[in-house]
Amino acid sequence: MALDGKVLVVTGGGRGIGRETALYCASKGASIVVVDPGVGTDGSGQNSAPAEQTAQDIMAAGGKAHANFASVTDTAGANSMVEDALTQFGRIDGVINAAGFLRDGWWHKMSRQQWDEIIDAHLNGAYNVCKAATPHFREQESGSFVLFTSPSAVYGNRGQSNYSAAKHGVIGLTQSIAIDMGHFKVRANCIAPTAWTRLIEQTVGITGAGDDVVNKMKTDLGADKIAPLAAYLVSDAAQEISGYVLEARGDKVSFFDLPRPVATLEHEGGWTIEALADELGPAIHSHGGIGLGHQP
């Protein structure tokens, strides 16, 4: 099978995309450390049941799994995830970091606590799990990081300045790890998923979408549709794929080019505010750039 013999740590594995990814990877032969502290959609509380249930479902289907209840925000907890992989299954081949929650709010109302909690969960959490696995990947000269970013990081989103910033940081982290660890044959990529999960359900509930919209989203944007891409990226078939941002939405997969200038202007003798007004503004508009802040 595509992942036969691989040992993977899947964070957020108790629910949503993480659970579907853990189940799918196990069905393809991987042994899974299912990580999930079982927090609520806002990061509160703790519950061992989600991780235990996913691990039990994998084993009931004939696969190998072990439940871990640590948080990615805790350095010792991240280390325990990797140690569990080594202790239970003898090695570690990949980290799929799907853990996270939301603390949305309009920018002008965003509290420092909301900001810090999301940066800690998504950006610092990605750092913690990657750092824990890195010495082992480096020594064995193999391994794959699959981190989860978001369309909110790429396009921006209302009420998600903290989440967008954290997830954009994940993109930069992924690309830099890919550069630094490429010498050791270690890969890093990130996925920007759109899928029906309890986090999306919460957002849709706030916007008051009707039942017809909700039912269509559940059908077209199942979390299970993200799992094959994550599995592919940790497989040997993706050995040449590193440093990419990929978007997964329903039956579609996209990959992004690196940001680069679409036009360059030069003004002999240096720019003035008048020259910029005369030349830069029209050039931006000629390329269709109106700025996200001016979107209706």
Q: Which residues pair with 35 in a beta bridge?
A: 11, 68
- The answer on 166 and 284 residing in a single domain is no
How many other CB atoms sit within 10 Å of the CB of residue 17? 29
Looking at residue 201, what is its pLDDT?
60
Structural domain containing residue 95: 7-255
Residues 6+ away with beta carbon under 8 Å from 113: 103
Q: Which residues pair with 65 in a beta bridge?
A: 32
- The answer on 250 and 277 residing in a single domain is no
Looking at residue 26, what is its pLDDT?
98
Alpha helices in the chain (DSSP H): 16-27, 49-60, 75-89, 112-118, 125-140, 151-155, 161-181, 198-207, 211-220, 227-234, 273-286
- The answer on 167 and 65 residing in a single domain is yes
Long-range contacts of 110-113 (CB under 8 A, 24+ apart): 110/161, 110/162
- The answer on 282 and 138 residing in a single domain is no
Looking at residue 286, what is its pLDDT?
84
User: pLDDT tens across 92-115, in order?
Assistant: 999 999 998 888 899 999 999 999
More confident residue, 247 or 46: 247
Looking at residue 204, what is its pLDDT?
53
Q: What angle do CA 9, 68, 88 make, to 5 degrees?
A: 65
pTM: 0.88
Catalytic residue annotation:
163
CB 65 within 8 A of CB 58: yes
Looking at residue 289, what is its pLDDT?
56
Indicate which CATH number applies to the domain containing 129.
3.40.50.720
Residues 6+ away with beta carbon under 8 Å from 75: 128, 131, 132
Mean pLDDT of the chain: 90
- The answer on 164 and 143 residing in a single domain is yes
Looking at residue 205, what is its pLDDT?
52
Tell me which DSSP letter residue 193 carries: E
Q: Over range 114-127, report the average pLDDT.
A: 97
Q: Lowest-confidence range among 85-94, 145-154, 202-211, 243-252? A: 202-211
- The answer on 226 and 141 residing in a single domain is yes
Looking at residue 202, what is its pLDDT?
58
- The answer on 266 and 240 residing in a single domain is no
Q: Over range 235-260, report the average pLDDT.
A: 92
What is the rounded distance in angstroms from the CA atom of residue 37 to the CA atom of residue 32? 16
What is the rounded distance in angstroms from the CA atom of residue 96 to the CA atom of residue 115? 24
- The answer on 270 and 233 residing in a single domain is no
Q: Over range 189-210, report the average pLDDT.
A: 69
- The answer on 177 and 289 residing in a single domain is no
Tokens of 47: 């519950």
How much of the chain exceeds pLDDT 90, in percent? 73
Q: Over range 83-100, report the average pLDDT.
A: 97
Q: Lowest-confidence range among 32-36, 130-134, 251-255? A: 251-255
Looking at residue 158, what is its pLDDT?
87
What is the rounded distance in angstroms from the CA atom of residue 147 to the CA atom of residue 233? 10
- The answer on 251 and 267 residing in a single domain is no
Q: How many domains does the chain fold into?
A: 2
What is the rounded distance in angstroms from the CA atom of residue 188 to the CA atom of residue 176? 9
How much of the chain exceeds pLDDT 70, in percent? 89
Q: How confident is the model at residue 296 (pLDDT cuts 50, 70, 90)?
A: very low
Q: Over range 33-46, report the average pLDDT.
A: 84
Looking at residue 218, what is its pLDDT?
67
What is the rounded distance in angstroms from the CA atom of residue 147 to the CA atom of residue 246? 10
CB 94 within 8 A of CB 187: no
Looking at residue 211, what is its pLDDT?
65
Q: Could you tell me if residue 244 is inside a domain?
A: yes
- The answer on 295 and 248 residing in a single domain is no
What is the rounded distance in angstroms from the CA atom of residue 85 to the CA atom of residue 97? 15
Q: Lowest-confidence range among 101-115, 136-150, 250-264? A: 250-264
Q: Could you tell me if residue 1 is inside a domain?
A: no
Looking at residue 191, what is its pLDDT?
97
